[in-house]
Structure 1
């Protein structure tokens, strides 16, 4: 056996003495492959397998005359094709011319195989290769008649993808692969040929596919943009490129959330099939652990399709022997993984050729008859190193492929299924499954639910004109809102500048102390029941009351509260606060009248409440408070506080029973809220009162514990602090023993406040207190944690529910009955009752005006008798509904009522626009008159005529609810003449018309046609005088006593 000089000589060449006789015949095998060790099919890799095959044949023939090729020796020569379409064919020609070549093994590059395979056909030399898988080599006549493909066609890869797509019900596929730049003249890449065959197979099965290519030698390739383009059309992506580029693509997909989402699946068509890039392709020893783990996560969405590597002991022994020969005889070292199945294919090519040649020679053929030898290699099955090798009738191997998936724990790609070339079936590996990315339990769909272009979902997009309209409308709305905001801003600024709250002191007339007759709690003023003794004396204060200053301002009594400031700075925050206070209006809040800011008369003026404070009422034992009374008081407080908390004032800060006052109408109102910057000066108790005084500590009994623990709490307090104060007031109302009552504990106010600073110290609650629901509400309001206290809207709803029996009743009457003996101003009570009487009287008058004409009703209200009156000329309108009797018979009574109600409501809204009076409606009959009780000359005919036309028009658009397809047919008759009108009856008085004119008008209607207006000659004469009405003579109608009257149609 001879070896090319580019490799070391074989120390034990096949066919050398003494194993072959010198006269042995020679078979010359020419190997064409690149000499580059990095190439997947380099001479370094395939020659050891070819030599091993030759030795296997030698061993089977040695000493066995009946063995294959007995008496023949094999000579192997090789040439470096450089993977060049120029040098490769030249080497083949040189081999053919210089030596008698019997068979070609290789070439391994598509652009070298094409010319060499054509020459081999002309030279009648068989050519066997593991390459040439491009689809163009499938049709072998007339160009490639002696080409045998030991790894089959890329169509096998397409068949594998068809099986995978069918398994998971995928029909839309994207392809992203490497291809040489056309401008470089390198031709198409193997990936291009592989995916072209896959594309062809998918297209035959009706699959939709798109593809994009890139040149992996171009460092500026933007994989993100390519993936976005593919991802907009497919979620199943087939890749083919060098391993380092596959890694870049998967990292880009990870950045686009294509991996973690689990919505995308990637397939890598591995052409090289080397284990170091198949089993753990994400790993790079030069990268950090963090980078490798990131790459590993990116590969969770990747599946690999590659040629099947047999998992047999025989194949592992074969791999070890090939590696030994390569290392010892060709100075090339393989990695630790099994030999590539493409390399094994060259080993099996030698075996196949030997079998076919042996059969040809046995049949009397010759080694130079390549056609005969090739025909015996096609369409047969033989035992190769990888098992049974099946060659189809076209000389292509039915290759086996494997589907590999990465174990997310170990990071190793494992075979999960095999697709066998003979059966074309995808067979799962027992005990293994695919791990889908994104923690999915199954494969994702190949298209989104609505499709990539949303064609599977209803098109809810609006047309351009609608979008333009909306945009323009939005712009208009924005402009309007902006204008409104600007207007509101300027209006607010103008209101602030106008200072409507400002009061001129010369308009305030102060009263003497005897004028008020009430404690300070009865107005908007300071504390009630002030203490003059100190805590050190051990004595409790007397019931001495401090009286609020009152004054007359523009005819009304107001409460005056001084601001102890020599000068009030009117800055913007204060002006805004004064404006807001002026704008506050609520039934249960003391109204802010205004303020005087002119030194030395700086003061606040508020509504004066003469009935005193809630504290006064609770301290008065003569006033009995039942459950309804107590709940009404509590409800009034919640209404007031809920409103304060809903405004920009936000909180009260000083809520206590002395700041809850009762006005002249026995309405409880809350005072001393807002204007905290001014009230700090007026109510600075820390500065004005001795901190050891009884009064100082008593004022703090309503203060929430969280505020007591602050050295200088905010003057406006907090909303939750107000809720606590409300709870103390509620306790006052229930027990009526003053604030923070303790049954057997005689602690001073200071002691109570100090105990409140310690959690869980609260006023005493007697078991026989009653009103359990109110007690439970109170307890929730004084809990230690402010966040657990309810808000005032919730409290308002709660007390409304508890007091629902009294909400609809007249609480004022109950209040009056309880306080009637103690009221000092009976005039107010008379005024209230008078107001009720006037309100009821007004209701009666409004009802009378609905029943009778206003002039007639006014006479009755004035107590005058209404006498019957003759009117020389009026116009009467009569109408009814044609077929109403039949319609009523076919309808339910409620449907008839709804019909008439809808119709006459429509009519009533129309006649309000004319000088007419509706006399009555009886069933479907409708009677209207004009010219009485206030005469209007001859305009009555015109008013009735216009009204009739308007009613007829309205009937044309009227729809019957229960019979919307039926047309309501109105028949109208008009007549003018004298009538007598008067009020008939006392209990249910009616304004009635009498005279022949009424009968004639009724005849005009009853003898008329549907949807027509019939006019008598008298009415026609009046209408002609206006010159704006067109009337047509219809004929005569029969009146009483066989008289006939012309009938005109308006």
Structure 2
């Protein structure tokens, strides 16, 4: 389930679905709707959901019967609320001939030609808005226009500005169209420079971008005296994000120092926005009830409360209309019993086109192309109340511009298309005779200079508008590592990208002679080459996003393919025949697109360049990188400008591309990288003969085709277009008995098997790693404590009334440090304590810690063992004495020996600390055991009376009375010696 901030989320649109289904049950009881919601909490935005939408849809369709017999009086329909998932699913719906109805707009050529089963109920129809702009300019005789686009704003604005520009050009009715683009994401635009430039071109400006930036531009226009009635600013707002009285989505009021200037500037603005009917609010009692139901259900059923003045957006109304008009069509078909219509998504789509539907939210008209034609208003700011007032209306289905009111304009209305004195202004009378006398003499010079200047200025404007540079602060290196050679993996704007090295940044000298790095500057030739590379948009091409420059190096930034390169895929899984055929066709079509582009060749093709995305689509990477690196390396730095080097012709390289793509195809067929070493036709035929028994099935018919690509005469090798046609013909002849759905299902099943294998391997690795972690934890803490910490609990401290504590010290270790090297002394200490650790497993004891050369051991804590703890500790120390005398007594000239002290009593124990937690013991018993050791003798075990009493009851070990001695901090105590093999008497 997407967050409420996403307009296509179920949280936001759930009330619309519920109300529509309830309405269908009441009005059309014979129409049964069985819905399957495809949602997920893991998706942060529409891009994430779109990545999996095709796989989800294919999995759902796998469980549905799509044959013609089962589709009688039944239809399978995709209902999409909008976002990028619609663009991912419509090719699948078109191939399966299924109806797709969405509340998001689409371009008319895409809907009408590429997606004939697509119907849109969105109020943001590009066709309807384009008609309004054309009718508006025709009504007021405006033909010299400037289209201003903020490329950093919502993608809808960029898409619409391109569509509108194309519609104006196709009309060929005397329009003079200029384009002015800037990108607010890459930096704050210089509005003064932009306004001065467009002021010399036109007086009518069509703005598409962020409303906040539009207000800033108008304030600057007020400072330049460009809002006195001679200029017209036409701005479009597809949504209204507030219902506050007197404030639309575009408003002059910001409660700052610029409010008065903005209010005056807005008098020269025409606002184009959809009519209130698209929001489904307050135009009738039924719509008021719908509006109230949406607000109530959002809060009660979906835990989403609308803020004050927050409107119910057209997405909600469009989703409601999608289901209600779908039910009307299904009811009509049920009554007419047209069986052939139910079996075709195209025929179902035609039932919606060029038709008006009456719903609770008003009239919804779907035009002949399958898009909704909404009612759109041209509004203006009222001078007195500063409220929005409607001037002109383009009603649904009419495409005419009706006049509602006349605008309050600062000067005469409408402003002329071209001012009386032209765009440069009038000249004083005194200078007119002088200019007339000199104009004939300088006419040829002016024409020549102007032509050169305009060509250079146009190229300069294109270079400034072309978004190719990515600031290096937009990239951050992630924690994961990538295995590709010479490729770094980075995160750019919350997505992964590839960074490929272009070359080192050039250095220049400043005024003091210091070497400094310079910002990357492209000359014309380098710019054209980069523009040609970035202009290649094809499903089987890994797109170049841009260029980023660090202080020391320059990188090419391209899209990230989640499944790595082709060799990595071949090493991970075994491909079936359908999958192999799909990858081969993807590689061929990708190279065909490269050869058809301005590059005409790839230049550095290899299997490593074949990348696999999340949909298992093969994409050719590094397209144009070889040419860019060659040009960059041949450039010389001169005053901050790069001078282009000489280029090689791509004709011969294109033939080499064909040979390489044939080698890649054979690697896919045989899943063997040894074809990388094959260089001639003889080697190919020999290699294929050795693999005659390899099971490749129907792909065997492709081997003669690819063998011809190794001809010694390059002219006899087939070009990529002929190669694609021959391979497609062979594969099509074998695919007649297999439907698209079956191939998708087989690919999903193969992918599922591979995922199961990967999960099993990762689970095994995880268990092994967990065992190692458990071993380390159990060596550091008691097992009971480890279990509590793993559950997230804090182990409770405990009090033990009867325990035995022992300190063992290597006497003479301090002297040893002065007589030997520190490394040798530490090796000796480590070997002694490791031997002691081995002895612990034989007794019911717990090693607490080591302190310098001392070794602290307990018994009876943390595991209670009644009163056997004294015996366990004493048996352990006897073993320690025997092991030390056997293994280490002769080391270092016998300068060290063991000394031990033991005491039995009560202690408290618990875990201390969160970072590197330790199991610590507390109480006077610890201090007494330490005093027993310090007051003892080297080579002997000194024990207290409490410990000796327990040994008499529960042990066969013998003690020897030492007598009453003075112990520091304890006074006079009765103590004993423990008899061991080393000191028994």
TM over 0.5: no
Identify which of structures 1 and 2 has the higher relative contact order when contacts are C-alpha pairs closer than 8 Å and 6+ apart.
2
Q: Structure 2 length normalisation: TM-score?
A: 0.39
Q: Structure 1 length normalisation: TM-score?
A: 0.36
